[in-house]
Copies of this chain bind each other. A is one copy, B any other.
Amino acid sequence: MSNIYDCIIIGAGPAGLAAALYSARDRYSTLVLEKFYPGGQINTTDRIENYPGIVKISGPDLIAQQLKQVEQFGATIKTGAEVKDITALPDGNIKIAAGKNEYIGRCVILAVGSDYRRLGVPGEDEFRNAGAGVSYCGTCDAPFFRDKKVVAVGGGNTAVEDTLHLAKFAREVILVHRRNEFRATKVLVEELMTYVNKPDSNLNLRLDSVVAAIEGAGKVQRAIIQNVKTNEKETIDCDGVFIFVGMVPNTAFLSGRIELTEAGFIRCDTGWLRTAIPGVFAAGDCRVGAAMQLATAIGDGVNAAIMMKQYLRDRNWWKQPIPGAI
């Protein structure tokens, strides 16, 4: 069974639903395929205060608003539809296989998102939202930990950046890293060490160490740290644990089908979001160069849906450089 749509969007998170709003409102036949249920990563956020225009909202409430908008304009959303394959057909259309169904899209927007890499330790899932105390995003949630004590985990660029960011808000930050050297770039590590070595610094390190467990009642109250060389354990009383051990884009099913980076991000031109396959756009946290914020993911969804119109009008547009771009 085959159905032809002007636009098939894979993923019903903020980027995918933003694309669907624009595509459907422009009266393109629009299908959204979602592996689980709408929302993705943002569903785990109970308090968003950095989406411009909305002073405060929860992730699920934002998604409910986006769904309401999309449904007004008549896009079809299929949940529980896990895409397994994507193929460029000789006629230039794109075939999408999801379970037993096949769909044909004149355009496809990949908005599959990313997931935070988990530590996989006891307590991590139980307290997984900023209100309960486990967070994966310093930029998003640091302001909620003003004058509190937090543990941070990681050793890469984001870990060091976000830990320095946390230290602007929290009373005290303990950064736990399993090696005794940081992977982050030199300039970041220098900034980190300068900050740590200040007199009365509110940022301290536990190197060669891991978080073995996160404990509390209803919310985070302490982290159990273990030194990987001595196996010694330490209990740190704290209000939150920030886990900065990377992002995993949800692109495993695209491997070998579209160009990905080593880390699994979808390669595209970062201005108009065109991938290596004509007609296939990438939007949001799954693409290279993304700022990984809600507003930028939503901007991407809109951008892809606007640019799609150029391609539907003229397939030669795909190879056109962006006029005036540096």
Query: For the complex, what is the distance from the CA of A288 to the CA of B291, rounded to whole Å?
Result: 19
Query: For the complex, what is the distance from the CA of A301 to the CA of B50, rounded to whole Å?
Result: 12
A69 lies within 8 A of B55 (CB):
yes
Interface size class, chain A: 35 or more
A69: chain B residues at CB < 8 Å are 49-50, 52-53, 55
Q: Is A207 engaged at the interface, CB distance under 8 Å to the other chain? A: no
Which of chain A's residues 45-61 have a Cβ closer than 8 Å to chain B? 49-55, 57
Contact with A326, one of B18, B72, B269 (Cβ below 8 angstroms): B269
A49: chain B residues at CB < 8 Å are 25, 69
A179: chain B residues at CB < 8 Å are none
A302 lies within 8 A of B313 (CB):
no
Contact with B along A304-326 (1 / 0, CB 8 A): 00110100011000000011111
Contact with A289, one of B72, B187, B324 (Cβ below 8 angstroms): B324
Which of A116-124, A125-133, A260-268 interfaces with chain B? A260-268
B298 lies within 8 A of A300 (CB):
no
A293: chain B residues at CB < 8 Å are 22, 302-303, 306
How close is A312's CB to chain B, nearest CB, in angstroms?
10
Q: Other CB < 8 Å A-B pairs besides A50-B69, A53-B66, A296-B302, 8 of them?
A: A14-B52, A21-B50, A27-B187, A54-B54, A191-B313, A261-B324, A269-B271, A293-B303
